């Protein structure tokens, strides 16, 4: 059964997440989730990992899950939200490592971009790193998007849902799905997963202007040359995604990350792509294969 843990930031703010302790644990797995979701969506995966002897910590970002007491609080970020989330990931890793076990940190989707930033800002924060459903190679696009958000978002609309920026940010993902039954079919081929997502009021809530300003500001930095060069050369990185994931440009983004990291001199980089899978590979029909591959990397 999942417990609740807290991460206390230097700013005085607190972020919460869920912790699944394992019996006779051999390793720690820490994670930050994607946009518009929450830690308890990963309960099945966490329980699977527990059976393999892996402790699991999954952090909710600002405005998500345990950090949104009511639906009115969803997707609201403070100033500097991206950087504060990254700080919290590092602090979560340090808390997990107190038990002396090897610690593997993972980020999915939005969380994978924060994890890329964590690699740049906090070298060796974890023993290994996993990026799921990620992307790369769009520094110019992110810079333009960041400038646009800086113009459009101010104090008066900071906490208000922003349909314009949301459409620009994620509105195109469903357009490449043939014979789509819902606008969210890009999440997975697994239709039950899509329907559960649609039915849950804590999933898919429209992000606020403040979210987009903070998120795009962070995204405008992670693929800059100086940021990438800050990654320690002995990091151990596992990149994985579905071949039909629009967030990663249908495989182009993860392959860019693998190539770029290796060109930087980071030799221990592994890429695993899954055919006939979309964005949430851990929620597809063949998710147990994904679980097994992740466990092999965590315990390897």
- Ranges of each domain in the chain: 3-138+223-299
The tokens describing 46, both together, are: 């966490």
With H, G, I as helix, E, B as strand and everything else as coil, classify residue 239. Answer: strand
Is the pLDDT score of 243 beyond 90? yes
CA distance 61 to 75: 9
Which pTM value belongs to this model? 0.97
Mean pLDDT, residues 235-249 taken together: 98
CA distance 78 to 63: 9
The predicted structure's pLDDT at residue 203: 98
CA distance 202 to 67: 11
CA distance 297 to 59: 21
Whether the CA torsion 67, 73, 75, 79 is positive or negative: it is: negative
CA distance 152 to 157: 9
CA distance 105 to 95: 12
Q: Is 106 left (phi over 0), alpha (psi -120 to 50) or beta?
A: beta
Average pLDDT, the chain: 97
The predicted structure's pLDDT at residue 233: 98
Write the pLDDT tens digit of every residue in 36-89: 999 999 999 999 999 999 999 999 999 999 999 999 999 999 999 999 999 999
Is the pLDDT score of 1 beyond 90? no
Say if residues 15 and 44 touch (Cβ distance below 8 Å). no
CATH code of 3-138+223-299, in short, is 3.40.50.1820
Long-range CB contact pairs, 228-234, < 8 A, 24+: 228/120, 228/260, 228/264, 229/264, 230/120, 230/121, 230/123, 231/119, 231/120, 231/123, 231/261, 231/264, 231/266, 232/119, 232/123, 232/124, 232/266, 233/264, 233/265, 233/266, 233/267, 234/266, 234/268
Q: How many percent of the chain have pLDDT more than 90?
A: 99
Structure confidence at residue 141 as a pLDDT band (50, 70, 90):
very high
Say if residues 213 and 220 touch (Cβ distance below 8 Å). no
Is the pLDDT score of 31 beyond 90? yes
Strand order in the sheet with 269-274: 3-8, 14-20, 54-59, 27-32, 103-108, 128-132, 237-242, 269-274
Q: How many percent of the chain have pLDDT more than 70?
A: 100
Q: Which of 125-139, 167-181, 280-294 has the lowest mean pLDDT?
A: 167-181
With H, G, I as helix, E, B as strand and everything else as coil, classify residue 263. Answer: helix
The predicted structure's pLDDT at residue 193: 98
CA distance 235 to 46: 24
């Amino acid at each position: 059964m999942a417990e609740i843990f807290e991460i206390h930031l230097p700013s005085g703010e607190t972020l919460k997440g869920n912790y699944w302790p394992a019996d006779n644990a051999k390793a720690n797995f820490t994670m930050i989730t994607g946009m518009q979701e929450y830690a308890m969506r990963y309960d099945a995966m966490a329980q699977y990992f527990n059976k393999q002897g892996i402790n699991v910590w999954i952090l909710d970002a600002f405005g998500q899950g345990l950090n949104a007491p009511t639906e009115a609080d969803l997707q609201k970020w403070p100033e500097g939200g991206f950087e504060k989330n990254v700080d919290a990931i590092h602090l979560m890793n340090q808390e997990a490592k107190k038990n002396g076990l090897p610690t593997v940190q993972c980020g999915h989707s939005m969380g994978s971009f924060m994890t890329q930033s964590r690699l740049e800002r906090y070298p060796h924060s974890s023993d290994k790193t996993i990026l799921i459903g990620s992307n790369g190679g769009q520094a110019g696009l992110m810079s333009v998007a960041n400038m646009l958000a800086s113009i459009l978002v101010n104090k008066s609309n900071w906490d208000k849902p922003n349909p314009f920026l949301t459409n620009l940010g994620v509105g195109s993902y469903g357009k490449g799905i043939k014979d789509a039954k819902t606008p969210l079919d890009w999440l997975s081929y697994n239709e039950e997963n899509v329907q559960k997502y649609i039915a849950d009021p804590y999933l898919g809530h429209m992000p606020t202007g403040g979210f987009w300003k903070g998120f795009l500001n962070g995204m405008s930095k992670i693929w800059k040359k100086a940021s990438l060069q800050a990654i320690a050369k002995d990091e151990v990185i596992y990149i994985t995604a579905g071949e039909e994931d629009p967030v990663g440009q249908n495989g182009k983004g993860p392959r860019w990350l693998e190539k770029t990291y290796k060109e930087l001199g980071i030799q221990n980089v592994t890429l695993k792509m899954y055919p006939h899978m979309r964005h949430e590979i851990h929620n597809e029909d063949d998710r147990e294969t994904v679980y097994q591959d992740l466990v092999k990397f965590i315990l390897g």
